[in-house]
Chain A
Amino acid sequence: MITAGLLVLTLLQQPEQGFDHPKHKALFPSCTSCHAGVAKKGESLWPDPVSCTTCHDGMIEKTVVWRPPTSPRRSNLRFDHLGHAAKAQGKSLSCSVCHTLAGEPRMAVRAPVIQRCLDCHGIRTAHLAAPDTACTTCHVPLVRAESFTRQDVARLRPPPSHAAPDFLSRNGHGAVSRQTVGTACATCHAREFCYQCHAGSAPPRAITWLASDPRSTAIVARAAPATHGDNFAERHATVAAASTTGCTGCHVRADCLECHRPSAARGAGYHPDGFLTRHPASAYAREASCSDCHNVGVFCSSCHARAGLGAAGVLRSGYHDARPFFLVGHGQAARQGLESCVSCHAERDCLTCHSAVGGRRFNPHGPGFDGARMRRKNFAMCTVCHGAAVP
């Protein structure tokens, strides 16, 4: 009886056939009369279509067109009917144990009732909440589920444990994987799945314990860890500087260079759309360190010069036109926004007044200036203004 019941499980893998079991209940007192293969090695799991024509000949009943499946069942189950049939010898088990709900008639067959499997195997949880050690009871590793397609893999549902806040951290799935990567994890995943995120240097050794299977990338795993939160890109600098090793668990250098590569012609990456139009305010007050990615000469100055903003060796008109006396009162603005000044002005502009030799000898040194140290570090720089007579 159990083998017959298990056969029904297989039948239900073919829902498009739409065989109406309850309607035929009077004709088939035994499941194995049609599905002999579930109990007998070498027999087919499926009935011979010819046997259907005994009734469905067009006269007694209308004809039907049906062919048994030719390809193996797409499944990642360890289950096989013969094995279960052998174990069920002498036990009061029937097909309906797995293929019907409690109290329903024998022929009210349906897809395997997973909870029945769990009950028999002593697993007292919901299917996906089963402990990691339980997966291999019923499932083979993904690499051995040869009939599975990428679409089948993509449809695998994640267990609730994967939704835990720290699951993506090394204390979450990292710790779990060191125990179960070869068993529970391998049920749904293979090495390529992990490499979707673990692309950086020195990936965890546990990944290599998994076999290789390109189908595993059908499950997309590019979620950022919970620690990233929203707007992480804008505040990642310090974390990235301190936790380089942690970053390289998932990121490769090319990820950083997506934004941190000097490129005048890229579209919006780090900056929002339309940033060009509002960059003056951001640049003046140094919202970020522009020069980390943009060279002042090749990026700022070249564009400003074309817009009529470059000083180009003389103190031209153009920019500070709202302040007629700006030249004689620019000190504070210059010390606050020196990076902005040098995006239009060359050193020789400033030396017109601030040179100790040939200029008007206005001293540009201000708070924090350590002349002795700078002289020691780069005497040549001092000579630009002071000539050989550096104080």
Chain B
Amino acid sequence: MKHILALLVLFASPLTGQGYRLRLDGRFQAVGYRGVQLDSIAVTDTVVGSGGGPTTPDGFAVRCPSGAPTALFFRPGAIQRGAPFVTTADASLWGFGVRGLSAHAAARAAVDFTGSNAWPGTDPALQLLTAYAEYSVERLTARAGRQLNGNRLGMIGFDGASITVRDGRHGLDASVYGGWGLARGAALPVTSPALNPISDFQPGKRQLLLGAEAGWSGRLGDVRAEYLREVDPRTDYFVSERVGFAAVIRPVERWSVTGGADYDLAAGWWGSAEATLGYTARMVSGALGVRRYRPHFDLWTIWGAFSPVPYTAVQGQVSIRALPQMQVRARGERYRFSDADVSTPLVSVERSGWRGELGVTASAAPSWTFDAGYTREFGPGAASVGTSASVTYAPAARPYAVTLHGAAMDRPLELRFSESVLHLYGVDTRYDVSPSFRLELGAVRYAEDRQRPDPAAIDWGQWRATLRAVVTIGSGDDLGRLPPAVRRMPGGRAQR
């Protein structure tokens, strides 16, 4: 059988009208930074440090696990070097003799040439992100295979099928999808060892997933409702069950009101929600709104039972293009967590916080773009204040661009001795060898000064070098015969 398949592949010739697009995005990076080494010391050998806590005689702050005879701490370790090479391939095929029928796949291969495993995401080495067949016509889209659906409830990955029907005249559409789910935020099943680096409890089987959504789109606005349930097939219990709502209202030109919310049917509480009033004009755009955020945890972890509390925030942002060559932007947000209903007399933790940003982008001269920003945030656990600036030279009608950038940042952390000052500076270059071949080369230096009051001021300073190549190849530009999902021009948005 294998021989027959090999012969078929070897002698297969394209059918009439068959077409394809393939985009390869390869990125090689080189990085080196100081690692850490876990060490221990007998509790009886520790001394009281300058901060009042236990330290080693040579000044390393230590933690003494309750009842344990030894205390633990980290010493500076060996330099960790990584050389990851990650390639993402997106492919589309069409022209199978049925108009609207196409196939799509995206996969990622990652390898660290140093073998040090110093870079996250290189395990497993090959990941299938999406792979599905699609049949799409004006009123119907059906897909089968590995898919990532984006909606109010997040990016939902699954191996299964979906079908969407549309009534364009009345602005109605409805979708149903189902299959075996993938883990949140990953193209891996929840059973993958790669998802369990700290030896946590792990499900033994993949969850079964069923979702539905329906929407209406009209001149004055759009509304949409979604439902998603995931079930553990081993126990028939819910992994999650949620509903979401979202709406956009456009009462008058340039103004819009957007809002949405999701409700966790399994936990019995409202999740995240937001409502925003927006204004968009040629010179000015802005938004003012409130939002609420509560994390979602699947029920096959215990975290939902630990009662994560939401925060409520008021936020605003404005962008003013005072001159055609200059844009000024500002945004800010203030938030406050709900009462956590705990009493912690020995440890005080901030309950509210804020964050803000000011920035300006200017094109003072043709081909030159200057950007500068100032960010500041303060909240529970951490805070930071930083400035950044960049200058880009990208001459029109020339295939290259050069960007110099730099930043400085203080990042005091509330819960640890690790306040640090970080300086970042680097250069990025881009060269479009042809409309379908781009090269990028960059280097950046992180210079960190950890301001710990003990010798464990292990700085994270490092150099990073990046080489990236993006290649797009394909057959023909007869876009009229292309399925909708692949009608993207070479050199278009996908080239970012």
- Which residues on A are within 8 Å of B, measured CB to CB? 165-166, 171, 191-192, 195-196, 198-203, 205, 208, 212, 214, 217, 222, 226-231, 234-235, 238-246, 252-258, 260-267, 269, 272-274, 277-278, 280-282, 284-287, 289, 291-299, 301-303, 305-308, 310-340, 342, 344-348, 350-351, 354, 364-370, 373-374, 377-382, 384-385
Contact = CB atoms under 8 A, between A and B. Distances in A.
A254 to B, nearest CB: 6
Contacts of B340: 331-332, 335-336, 366-367
Interface string B298-327: 011111111111010000010101000001
Contacts of B186: 262, 295, 297-299
Contact of B380 (A241, A244, A285): A285
Given A280-B411, A337-B381, 5 more contacts: A192-B480, A201-B485, A297-B194, A321-B417, A381-B301
Contacts of B256: 227, 239
A210 to B, nearest CB: 9
Contacts of B317: 231, 234-235
Contact of A329 (B53, B281, B299, B346): B346
B344 A380 contact: no
B238 interface: yes
Given A165-B282, A337-B380, A373-B267, A202 B484 contact: yes
Contact of B329 (A227, A230, A302): A230
B420 to A, nearest CB: 9
Nearest to A199: B487
Contact of B258 (A238, A255, A286, A317): A238
Contacts of B108: 263
Contacts of A222: 492-493
User: Nearest 3 CB-CB pairs, A to B?
Assistant: A264-B121, A329-B347, A229-B285
A343 B384 CA distance: 20
A313 B65 CA distance: 12
B80 A306 contact: yes
Pick the most buried of B184, B198, B248: most chain A CB atoms within 10 A of its CB.
B198
Contact of A321 (B138, B307, B341, B416): B416
B43 interface: no
A336 B311 contact: yes
Given A238-B248, A322-B415, A374-B305, A336 B349 contact: yes
A291 B306 contact: no
B212 interface: no
B131 interface: no
B487 A334 contact: no
B80 A291 contact: no
27 contacts: A166-B253, A192-B489, A202-B141, A235-B287, A235-B317, A238-B274, A242-B215, A242-B258, A243-B217, A254-B106, A261-B155, A274-B424, A277-B424, A278-B409, A280-B384, A285-B379, A286-B295, A289-B272, A289-B293, A305-B197, A306-B35, A313-B198, A317-B62, A342-B301, A364-B305, A373-B266, A374-B304
Contacts of A171: 219
B383 interface: yes
B264 to A, nearest CB: 10
A240 B258 CA distance: 10
Contact of B188 (A257, A298, A328, A368): A298
Contact of B305 (A191, A272, A316, A381): A381
Contacts of B164: 201
Nearest to B92: A254
A255 to B, nearest CB: 6
A373 B90 contact: no
Contacts of B239: 378
Contact of B355 (A285, A310, A339): A285
Contact of A191 (B122, B260, B480, B484): B480
Contacts of B168: 202
A195 B488 CA distance: 7
Contacts of A322: 51, 413-418
B199 A346 contact: yes
A277 B197 CA distance: 22
Given A335-B306, A348-B200, A366-B340, A241 B151 contact: yes
A366 B302 contact: no
A302 B485 CA distance: 35
Given A346-B199, A364-B305, A316 B379 contact: no
Contact of A312 (B110, B198, B337, B384): B198
B177 interface: no
**Best-surrounded residue of A285, A291, A311 (most CB of chain B within 10 A):** A285
Contact of B344 (A294, A331, A365): A331
B27 A292 contact: no
Nearest to A245: B217
A221 to B, nearest CB: 10
B425 to A, nearest CB: 10
A120 B382 CA distance: 74
Contacts of A311: 198
B253 to A, nearest CB: 6
Nearest to A333: B349
A142 to B, nearest CB: 15
Contacts of A239: 248, 256, 258
Contacts of B301: 342, 347, 381
B255 to A, nearest CB: 10
A324 B339 contact: no
B150 interface: yes
B211 to A, nearest CB: 13
A196 B487 CA distance: 8
B197 A230 contact: no
Contacts of A208: 480
B160 interface: no
A181 to B, nearest CB: 15
B484 A285 contact: no
Given A280-B411, A326-B347, A297 B484 contact: no
Nearest to B90: A254
Contact of B194 (A198, A230, A258, A298): A298
A340 B81 CA distance: 26
B484 A199 contact: yes
Given A212-B480, A292-B185, A284 B381 contact: yes
B246 to A, nearest CB: 4
B63 A284 contact: no
B409 A277 contact: yes
Given A229-B285, A260-B150, A243 B248 contact: yes
B248 A235 contact: no
A84 B106 CA distance: 58
Contacts of A318: 36, 63, 72-74
Contacts of B138: 202, 205
B366 interface: no
B411 to A, nearest CB: 6
Given A321-B53, A337-B381, A350-B306, A292 B184 contact: yes
Given A238-B248, A262-B185, A282-B377, A378 B238 contact: yes
Interface string B97-141: 000000000101010000001111111000001100000101101
A192 B293 contact: no
| Most interface-central of A231, A302, A334, A336 (chain B CB within 10 A) | A336
Contacts of B379: 281, 284-285
Contact of A229 (B36, B304, B319, B422): B319
A26 B249 CA distance: 72
B237 A235 contact: no
Given A195-B487, A201-B485, A321-B63, A265 B27 contact: yes
Nearest to B143: A253
Nearest to B164: A201
Given A326-B415, A331-B340, A332-B349, A292 B63 contact: no
B241 interface: yes
